[in-house]
């Protein structure tokens, strides 16, 4: 079965990080938390859940994520980018291992629909769902660009 490394960028995420880390159990073989100076219990929580912790000063999302990709020491075949306030749904947790195992060799990334929760309910109408994001790719096949404060994933040759 293909292995998966999750990368989470953090700063003072003690409120959201536990649920994110719990959602990765049984799916991610490695979890990396890249922290930019938390002063709360973020690092303690990450350590308690067995995440590998790296620290790096924050410039912007894309630069931080590219730094993470360059500095994590992982043997995983696939990388998942997930924010501390995000969780893998139960549906995705069940589907992901089989989906990765069944992919053709030439597939290098998967788009994931982001589902926004508001007041405990999924927003499934309007411009909010589905928003397809490239959050999962073969290691070495993606990076992030910086158009302002947003980060988009692209091929390594386009990486800035």
Could you tell me the pLDDT band of residue 5, with boundaries at 50, 70 and 90? very high
Q: Which ranges of the chain does DSSP label H, i.e. alpha helix?
A: 17-24, 42-48, 61-71, 90-101
CA 86, CA 19: separation in Å to the nearest integer? 8
35 neighbors 43 (Cβ within 8 angstroms): yes
* Phi then psi dihedrals of residue 84, to 5 deg: -60, -25
For residue 72, what pLDDT is reported? 94
Helix (H) / strand (E) containing 123: strand 121-123
DSSP lists the bridge partners of residue 132 as 113
Ranked by mean pLDDT, the top range of 119-123, 138-142, 146-150 is 138-142
More confident site: 100 or 149: 100
> Considering the chain, what percentage of its residues have pLDDT values greater than 70?
86
Output the average pLDDT for the chain: 85
More confident site: 2 or 128: 2
More confident site: 146 or 52: 52
CA 104, CA 112: separation in Å to the nearest integer? 18
Please say whether the dihedral angle defined by the alpha carbons of residues 11, 160, 114 and 82, taken in this order, is positive or negative: negative
For residue 122, what pLDDT is reported? 74
113 neighbors 129 (Cβ within 8 angstroms): yes
CA 55, CA 100: separation in Å to the nearest integer? 30
pLDDT tens digits for 60-79? Answer: 888 899 899 999 999 999 99
Whether 160 has a pLDDT exceeding 60, the answer reads no
Distances (CA, A) of 98 to 19, 20, 104: 23, 21, 12
CA 96, CA 109: separation in Å to the nearest integer? 13
CA 140, CA 77: separation in Å to the nearest integer? 9
For residue 147, what pLDDT is reported? 53
């Amino acid at each position: 079965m293909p292995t998966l490394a999750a990368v989470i960028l953090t700063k003072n995420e003690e409120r959201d990080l536990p649920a994110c880390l719990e959602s990765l159990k049984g799916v991610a073989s490695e979890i990396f938390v890249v922290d930019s100076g938390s002063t709360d219990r973020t690092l303690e929580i990450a350590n308690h859940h067995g995440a590998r912790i790296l620290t790096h000063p924050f410039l912007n999302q894309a630069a931080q994520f590219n730094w993470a990709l360059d500095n994590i020491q992982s043997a995983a075949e696939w990388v998942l980018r997930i924010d501390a306030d995000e969780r893998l749904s139960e549906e995705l947790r069940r589907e992901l291992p089989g989906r990765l195992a069944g992919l053709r060799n030439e597939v290098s990334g998967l788009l994931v629909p982001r589902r926004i929760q508001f007041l405990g309910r999924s927003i499934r109408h309007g411009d909010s769902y589905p928003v397809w994001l490239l959050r999962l790719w073969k290691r070495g096949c993606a990076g992030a660009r910086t158009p302002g404060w947003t980060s988009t994933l692209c091929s390594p040759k386009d990486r800035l």
